[in-house]
Copies of this chain bind each other. A is one copy, B any other.
Amino acid sequence: MQIAIVLFDRFTALDAVGPYEILSRVPDAETVFVAERTGPVRNDSGSLVLTADRTLADVPSPDVVVVPGGPGQEAQMDNEDLLDWLRSADATSTWTTSVCSGSLLLAAAGLLTGRRATSHWLALELLKRFGAEPAGERVVTDGKYVTAAGVSSGLDMGLTLVGRIAGDEHAQAVQLLLEYDPQPPYDAGSPQKAPAHLVEEFRTRNRFIPT
């Protein structure tokens, strides 16, 4: 089994590394970071660099495709080389997945048309414009398409997927090994739970949908 995680300039690091840390523990799986070119890829804030070990062309038919999001996603929305690769990889994948605004790239490639899917809470409206049916859940599975909400939700997506691929017990073992027993010191992780003025502030300067 081959798991490909796509990188592009100004991706959000945890979008990629959250699912990576979990999915790379699928037994007998090879996990590989791919990008248009091999070599360093810098994240959204510019202070983190991950290496793409293989090009998209090197990895034509992974079993699992993971597409992270991040501010750099916008510039990829009309990158036909990447969109072509997504369509072609999806044609033979077992699972096609995304975290955060990565679902906008899947949607731009035409892969989520008419499908239930999710994205960062600020990107749900845009996801709809690209033909998907936004669902306000943290991890949404529609057939072989698994999309996750904002940034940190890739951990829940990864664990969900490991359960489907390797069984509940293996997923629980991975959860125990990574001690994924979350206890955030605040309860502001969704627009339903966060202080209303913070939600409003983010909506006003929503980078996905310029006001």
Contacts and interface: CB of A to CB of B under 8 A. Distances in A.
B151 A176 contact: no
Interface stretch (A30-38, A78-86, A90-98): A30-38
Contact of A150 (B13, B49, B177): B177
A190 interface: yes
Nearest to A161: B185
Interface in A171-211: 171-173, 175-186, 188-191, 193-195, 198-199, 201-202
Given A150-B179, A179-B121, A179-B151, A18 B14 contact: yes
Interface residues of A, number: 63
Given A184-B156, A189-B179, A51 B49 contact: yes
A77 interface: no
Q: Count the copies.
A: 2
A66 B151 CA distance: 21
19 contacts: A14-B21, A17-B48, A24-B45, A31-B47, A33-B47, A48-B50, A50-B51, A151-B178, A152-B178, A152-B179, A153-B179, A155-B182, A159-B184, A163-B185, A175-B189, A176-B190, A176-B202, A181-B193, A182-B189
Interface of A: 12-14, 17-18, 20-21, 24, 30-33, 40, 45, 47-51, 53, 100, 120-121, 138-139, 149-153, 155-156, 159-160, 163, 168-169, 171-173, 175-186, 188-191, 193-195, 198-199, 201-202
Given A120-B179, A180-B189, A182-B182, 12 more contacts: A14-B17, A14-B18, A31-B48, A149-B179, A151-B179, A152-B180, A155-B184, A171-B186, A175-B184, A175-B189, A176-B190, A176-B191
